[in-house]
Amino acid sequence: MHRSTSGGRAISLDSKRRSSTCLRRDGAPYADQLKSALVTEQLQPWHENISKRQVKAPKVFIKDSGLLHALWGVGTRDQLEVHPQMGSSWEGFVSAQLRRHLRARKSFFWATHQGAELDLLVMDVPKQLGFEIKRTTTPKMTASMHAAMTSLALHRLEVIHAGDHTFPLAPKVRAVAASRLLLDISPIGK
Binning the chain into helix, strand and coil, the percentages to the nearest 5 are: 30, 25, 45
Strand positions, DSSP E, 83-185: 107-111, 117-122, 129-133, 156-161, 167-170, 173-177
What is the enclosing helix (H) or strand (E) of 183? helix 181-184
Helices assigned H by DSSP within 18-105: 28-36, 65-72, 77-82, 86-102
Of residues 147, 160, 138, the one with CA closest to residue 113: 147
Specify which of 57-61, 125-129, 134-138 reaches the highest per-range mean pLDDT. Answer: 134-138
What does the pLDDT look like over 13-59, one tens digit per residue?
443 333 333 344 455 667 777 777 778 888 889 887 776 788 888 88
Please give the backbone phi and psi of residue 181, each rounded to the nearest 5 degrees, phi first: -50, -50
| pTM for the predicted model, two decimal places | 0.81
